[in-house]
Amino acid sequence: MSYPLCFESQSQFNKWNHYARITQPRYHICTDCSKEYQQKMILESRCVKPEAVFITSLGEIIGVVEWHRRKKK
């Protein structure tokens, strides 16, 4: 398996990756996550980054992982 556990399949991850590159390069898959989905994945032991936090940036709620916050400073 070469896709993150929070995706249902390689195909689903490939589609996400394809559209993420078209719309806007992202630093991490958690950027497109939600607090609700994160909680579901944590309960199923499928969350890749349970330490991710969610913030509002330019009117959009995004997930942020610690290394990304440090990099932006």
Chain segment 20-70, per-residue pLDDT in tens: 888 876 567 898 899 999 999 999 999 989 999 999 988 988 888 875 445
Give me the pLDDT at residue 56, please: 92
Going by C-beta distance under 8 Å and a sequence separation of 6 or more, which residues neighbour residue 37?
A: 6
DSSP code string of the chain: --S-TTSS-HHHHHHHHHHHHHH---S-GGGG--HHHHHHHHHTT--S-TT-EEEEETTEEEEE-HHHHHHH-
Please give the pLDDT value at position 65: 84
pTM reported for the whole predicted model: 0.77
